[in-house]
């Protein structure tokens, strides 16, 4: 089995007012990577390149040992994705969504879905439009996790959640991590990254400015945000000099 969950080499994507440039990054299978950076830094673009939702202009992208976009169907079958801006059909029930996803993915695990319904306190007959924001995030996680993906990619999974729902989501992600699944997630919450991630990548201005084990960034009681700000400040001073 391929040992790398992802492998990026000099990946570039240019937009009119923004460029993600020179991203080289590896993640070993079974590990969790946290992406940290300001809004507009390039985190979401990077995640969408891994998923094939955005096509890179240059560089090499491999996911689970397959090249993107050449092996996009294979990759999509084995990768799960949850984003804060994803939306389900408001007029349909959660059960309808579960039936629909099951027809698309033969590896759907009915027992896992049932267990997640109970764990997340979700009712399959409830329509999406009647769910709270937290319930909808849990529904998205259920629909993704019941497919048993080898790699789970999350873009701001805990954004806008109340403390109780946020802990429910984090607990489920910890369970996945302990089970040896590969996770990549972006977050503005440094404490979530410190808690979950084995390693952290700092993205700033479209560039990867640091990547190391989480423990290296939080030595001596330092917080992740403090380390990030210091690295970005040092980089900015270097450019001026």
The stretch 22-32 carries a mean pLDDT of: 97
Other CB atoms within 10 Å distance of the CB of residue 213: 12
pLDDT in tens, 113-168: 999 999 999 999 999 999 999 999 999 999 999 999 999 999 999 988 999 999 99
What is the 8-class DSSP label of residue 129?
A: G
Report pLDDT for 236: 74
Report pLDDT for 85: 87
Of 150, 39, 44, 130, the closest CA to residue 89 belongs to 130
3-state helix, strand, coil in the chain (%, to 5): 40, 25, 30
Both tokens of 69, joined, read 């976009």
For 86-121, letters b (16+ CB in 10 Å) and e give eebeeeebbebbbeebbeebeebeeeebeebbeebe
Q: What's the fold here for domain 4-240? A: Rossmann fold (3.40.50)
> In this model, does residue 105 exceed pLDDT 70?
yes
> In this model, does residue 181 exceed pLDDT 50?
yes
**Whole-model pTM?**
0.94
Q: Which residues contact 104 (CB under 8 A, 6 or more apart)?
A: none
Report pLDDT for 162: 92
- Beta bridge pairs of residue 83: 155
Determine whether 20 is exposed, middle or buried from the number of CB atoms within 10 Å of its CB (0-12, 13-18, 19+): buried
Strands in 19-28's sheet, in edge-to-edge order, are 19-28, 4-14, 58-63, 66-67
């Amino acid at each position: 089995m391929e040992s790398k969950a992802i492998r990026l080499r000099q990946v570039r994507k240019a937009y009119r007012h923004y460029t993600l440039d020179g991203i080289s990054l590896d993640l070993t299978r079974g590990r969790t990577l946290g992406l940290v950076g300001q809004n507009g830094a390039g985190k979401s673009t990077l995640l969408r390149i891994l998923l094939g939702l955005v096509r890179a202009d240059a560089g090499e992208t491999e996911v689970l040992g397959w090249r993107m976009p050449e092996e996009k169907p294979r990759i999509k079958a084995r990768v799960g994705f949850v984003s804060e801006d994803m939306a389900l059909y408001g007029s349909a029930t959660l059960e309808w969504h579960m039936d629909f996803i099951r027809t698309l993915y033969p590896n759907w695990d009915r027992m896992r879905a049932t267990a997640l319904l109970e764990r997340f306190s979700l009712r399959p007959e409830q329509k999406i439009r009647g769910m709270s924001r937290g319930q909808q995030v849990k529904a998205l996680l259920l629909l993704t996790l019941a497919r048993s993906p080898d790699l789970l990619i999350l873009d701001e999974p805990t954004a806008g959640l109340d403390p109780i729902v946020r802990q429910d989501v984090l607990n489920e992600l910890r369970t996945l991590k302990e089970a040896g699944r590969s996770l990549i997630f972006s977050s503005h919450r440094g404490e979530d990254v410190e808690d979950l991630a084995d390693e952290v990548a700092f993205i700033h201005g479209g560039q990867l400015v640091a990547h190391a084990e989480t423990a290296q960034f939080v030595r001596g009681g330092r917080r992740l945000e403090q380390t990030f700000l210091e690295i970005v400040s040092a980089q900015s001073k270097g450019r001026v000099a």
